[in-house]
């Protein structure tokens, strides 16, 4: 498949979020994909920005830096599927979240279609395991039991 079919140049739209799917911040971009490179510009609720990065058509992986004009950088890493590019963003160690962008020619995206296209639930079949066979629940230094941490992208994907 040609790079420009998988990663078409032109107008893209989408959102980024901090906490989950209900926390969407729209972004509009104009991206050029050529010979493994990504270049472009766009704007969101923070302000105008430039985009520079790389993509790999065979693996459908991509990454770029969004640089706000006169401001900070945001690092994006994602994966191209039929619904656009999904992934995570990070501002150094300060902040992180998820994102989804898609070519504007796809309309308003297929986030609702993703929910309805999911496989139907399957009946779980399990066996009882002895208490000793279960993994230990991690405890903090203060002795409190902590819930396991999940990555933002797994939370983003499971919410769709």
**Which uninterrupted H or E stretch holds 23?**
none
Domains of the chain listed by start with CATH number: 3-108+150-158 (2.40.128.120)
The pLDDT confidence band at residue 56, using thresholds 50, 70 and 90, is very high
159 has pLDDT over 70: no
- The mean pLDDT of 26-51, rounded to a whole number, is 97
SS3 151: coil
The pLDDT confidence band at residue 21, using thresholds 50, 70 and 90, is confident
Q: Across the strands, what pairs with 67? A: 50, 73
Task: Tell me what pLDDT residue 36 has.
Answer: 96
- The mean pLDDT of 6-25, rounded to a whole number, is 92
- The mean pLDDT of 138-159, rounded to a whole number, is 42
- Calpha distance 10→12 (Å, rounded): 7
- 107: which residues sit within 8 A by CB, 6+ positions away? none
- pTM of this structure: 0.66
Q: Say what percent of the chain tops pLDDT 70.
A: 65
Q: Name which residue leads in pLDDT, 27 or 143.
A: 27
Task: Tell me what pLDDT residue 141 has.
Answer: 55
Task: Tell me what pLDDT residue 19 has.
Answer: 82
- Calpha distance 25→90 (Å, rounded): 15
The pLDDT confidence band at residue 5, using thresholds 50, 70 and 90, is confident
The pLDDT confidence band at residue 22, using thresholds 50, 70 and 90, is confident
The pLDDT confidence band at residue 109, using thresholds 50, 70 and 90, is low
């Amino acid at each position: 498949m040609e790079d420009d079919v998988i990663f078409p140049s032109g107008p893209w739209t989408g959102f980024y979020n901090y906490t989950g799917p209900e926390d969407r911040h729209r972004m509009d971009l104009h991206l050029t994909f050529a010979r493994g490179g990504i270049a472009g510009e766009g704007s969101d609720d923070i302000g105008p920005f430039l985009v520079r990065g790389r993509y790999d058509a065979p693996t459908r992986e991509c990454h770029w830096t969004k640089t706000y004009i006169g401001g900070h950088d945001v690092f994006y890493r994602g994966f191209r599927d039929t619904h656009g590019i999904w992934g995570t963003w990070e501002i150094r160690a300060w902040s992180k979240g998820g994102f989804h962008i898609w070519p504007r020619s796809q309309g308003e995206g297929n986030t609702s279609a993703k929910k309805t296209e999911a496989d139907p639930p399957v009946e779980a079949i399990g066996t009882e395991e002895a208490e000793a066979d279960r993994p230990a629940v991690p405890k903090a230094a203060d002795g409190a039991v902590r819930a396991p941490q999940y990555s933002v992208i797994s939370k983003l994907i499971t919410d769709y």
